[in-house]
């Protein structure tokens, strides 16, 4: 069961929530999958999402790569959600810790996901703590980057059709770190 940890209505009118739990159970139109540039959903949260979405996700991901090439940090891909109850899945490529310019790449991945959701005319999105799992990005700096990127996007795009953004964390430790960062960045 998902647990609401924090909620704020930003000056743009967007409802921003921090939730602890399973992003595949989010009540939104689109979720963000923390992907790699080849959309090979073999580990971590990406593997969980792929398993729950079913074979259509793998098939559409391969088609995307054939048509568009590797996915960049700032320009995510999207597919249908298969067996999951969402309109689409956005595939955001976060940085691998130690690859260089990790903070900028993570910011680009978050803002690119928000922009794509807006471009697809979606009203609600759930995003995970991108890169903090198998990609090794330390949770504390990632929390500050992700939260700031979401706030900056909403301030720069006051006419966005997004009405709700849910930031999902899974573990108790990540929830505590993101909650502390929330209190620093948003209050």
Question: How many domains is the chain built from?
Answer: 1
CB 99 within 8 A of CB 105: yes
The pLDDT tens digits for 107-124 are 999 999 999 999 999 999
CATH number reported for the structural domain that contains residue 168 in this entry: 3.40.220.10
* Residues of the domain holding 108: 3-186
CB 165 within 8 A of CB 17: yes
How far is it, in rounded angstroms, from Cα 39 to Cα 170?
A: 22
pLDDT above 70 for 187: no
pLDDT of residue 71: 96
Q: Where are the alpha helices (DSSP H) in the chain?
A: 44-53, 55-68, 102-119, 139-156, 172-186
The pLDDT tens digits for 136-172 are 999 999 999 999 999 999 999 988 999 999 999 999 9
**Dihedral (Cα; 174, 175, 180, 181), 10-degree rounding:** 60
Q: Is the pTM of this model over 0.75?
A: yes
pLDDT above 70 for 34: yes
């Amino acid at each position: 069961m998902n647990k609401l940890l924090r909620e704020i209505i930003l000056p743009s009118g967007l409802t921003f929530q921090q939730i602890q739990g399973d992003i595949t159970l989010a009540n939104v139109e689109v979720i963000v999958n923390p992907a790699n540039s080849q959309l090979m959903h073999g580990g971590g949260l990406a593997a969980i999402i792929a398993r729950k979405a079913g074979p259509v996700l793998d098939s559409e991901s391969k088609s995307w790569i054939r048509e568009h090439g590797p996915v960049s940090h700032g320009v995510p891909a999207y597919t249908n959600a298969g067996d999951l109850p969402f309109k689409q899945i956005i595939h955001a490529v976060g940085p691998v810790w130690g690859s260089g310019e990790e903070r900028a790449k993570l910011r680009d991945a978050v803002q690119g996901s928000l922009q794509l959701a807006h471009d697809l005319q979606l009203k609600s999105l759930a995003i995970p703590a991108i890169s903090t799992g198998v990609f090794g990005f330390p949770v504390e700096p990632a929390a500050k980057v992700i939260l700031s990127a979401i706030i900056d996007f909403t301030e720069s795009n006051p006419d966005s059709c997004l009405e709700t953004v849910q930031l999902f964390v899974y573990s108790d430790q990540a929830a505590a770190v993101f909650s502390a960062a929330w209190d620093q960045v948003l209050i």
